[in-house]
Amino acid sequence: MFGIVDPKQAVEAVWRIEAGRVIAGLARLVGDVGLAEELAQDALVAALEQWPAEGVPRNPGAWLMTTAKRRAIDQIRRRERFERNLPELVHPAEADTSDFDAVLEEEPIEDDLLRLIFTACHPVLSPEARVALTLRMLGGLSTVEIARAFLVPDATVGQRISRAKKTLADAHVPFELPVGADRAARLASVLEVIYLIFNEGYSATAGDDWMRPALCEEAMRVGRVLAGLMPAEAEVHGLVALLEIQASRSAARTDPSGEPIVLLEQDRSRWDRLLIRRGLDALARAEALGGGTYTLQAAIAACHARARTAAETDWSRIALLYRDLAAIAPSPIVELNRAVAVSMADGPAAGLAVLDPLADEPTLRNYHLLPSVRADFLLRLGRPAEARAEFERAASMTRNERERSLLLSRAAAC
């Protein structure tokens, strides 16, 4: 596109940059996130009417905020008149906003933005609602864009958002930051929402080609915003590191026909060095602050990112990191991954010793990767008959046709 940017697009660009801050500031004034979002949307409509003709104001964020504040005062006055049946004393257009300005100057808008993030990710909401509200209020995404990203009808997203706002209002969720024992759990919920948004884009099971990468970028952006707002929180940096490093592999993880390429077979020249560098920087900050589960996952991802070739991967370190991860977040999947890392570091017998206790794990009973990893170890140990049986068992478990034929051909080759 050449020439001057379309005015409507210019307004929408400002909106995406400012939406979170405007909604956050308004939410503190009116004490209701849903109402704040509606007022901010009204201001956006006004901007779409005025800016194309009058030009984008010098400080567009302040313009949106002032316009929305006037509307907030309008509403409050109207409600007061309605409730008290008082005569109109002041024309809304002349309304004095100095009290509101004073409130806004008390505390930096950053604090409001953080409150907004925590409110949008409040546990009283379903995960789908948290994701939709976060994208809508912090990412400035429209209902249509969110619907496109999740392959659901626009109306579904619209309902999800309006129900979420109602839930927050009904539950009298205060526009405050959680303190004390509640804080860690609430932060975990925020990080989970960001990771959910990222994975929705990254897993690419379905959805719009354009919106899916946008979800990953949006998750990274919100993560970076959060890291700026909570610079002392290790796990915020840990999550950002994990997202940056995972995203660095985006261009290498599928072949031209769209089939996935496993990590060790990816063309590392297609990994994004800029994102890797950012990820490693974020990881260093996270580790200096103490770390956690996201930090450990990022550290594992970083081991791969640092290796110029698959053969140079520091598997001993990865095995240790999985052990640390299992210690704070025990899970059979983590243990399965640790077995693979141990086998790469110390050989298949050592890997098998980690893997075999998982044989009776109920959650892995129908998980084809357990027998397929075991088959691989057995094959490397020179036990082809057992390996063949395990590959066949794995093939019988997967529902993915392509995977099944791959496993059967490996069985036949034993």
Partner 1 sequence: MRYMLMHRLDQTNAAAWQPDPEFMAKMGAFMEEVGKAGVLLAAEGLTHPSAGAQTITVKNGQTTVVDGPFAEAKEVIGGFGILQVRDEAEAVEWGRRFAALFDEVAVEVRRVSEFE
CA nearest to 116, candidates 190, 49, 24: 24
Smallest gap, in angstroms, from Cβ of residue 220 to partner 1? 7
Nearer to partner 1, 75 or 142 (CB): 142
Distance in angstroms (rounded) separating the CA atoms of residues 118 and 189: 8
Which range, of 4-12, 42-50, 285-293, 320-328, touches partner 1 by CB under 8 A? 4-12
Instruction: Note whether 161 and 133 are within 8 A (CB).
Output: yes
**13: contact with partner 1 by CB under 8 A:** yes
The DSSP-derived string for 189-219 is HHHHHHHHHHHHHHH-SSS-TTHHHHHHHHH
**370: contact with partner 1 by CB under 8 A:** no
CA nearest to 238, candidates 173, 166, 183, 293: 293
State the first-to-last Cα distance of the chain, in angstroms, to the nearest integer: 57
Give me the 199-228 binding string for partner 1, x by CB under 8 A, dash otherwise: ---------------x--x--xxxxxx--x
Instruction: Note whether 282 and 274 are within 8 A (CB).
Output: no
Q: Is 20 exposed, middle or buried (0-12, 13-18, 19+ CB in 10 A)?
A: buried
Give me the 16-55 binding string for partner 1, x by CB under 8 A, dash otherwise: xx--------------------------------------
Nearer to partner 1, 202 or 391 (CB): 202
CA nearest to 279, candidates 309, 301, 312: 301
CA nearest to 98, candidates 58, 69, 76: 69
Distance in angstroms (rounded) separating the CA atoms of residues 234 and 286: 4
Rg of the chain over CA atoms, in angstroms?
26
Which range, of 10-18, 65-73, 98-106, 313-321, touches partner 1 by CB under 8 A? 10-18
290, amino acid identity:
G
Give me the 243-272 binding string for partner 1, x by CB under 8 A, dash otherwise: -------xxx-----------------x-x
Residue from 102, 274, 311, 385 that binds partner 1 (CB under 8 A)?
274
**14: contact with partner 1 by CB under 8 A:** yes
Residue from 35, 56, 124, 406 that binds partner 1 (CB under 8 A)?
56
Nearer to partner 1, 11 or 164 (CB): 11
Nearer to partner 1, 14 or 30 (CB): 14
Which range, of 9-17, 37-45, 328-336, 384-392, touches partner 1 by CB under 8 A? 9-17
Smallest gap, in angstroms, from Cβ of residue 65 to partner 1? 15
Residue numbers of the site for partner 1 (CB under 8 A)? 1, 5-6, 9-10, 12-14, 16-17, 56, 58, 110, 214, 217, 220-225, 228-229, 250-252, 270, 272, 274-275, 278
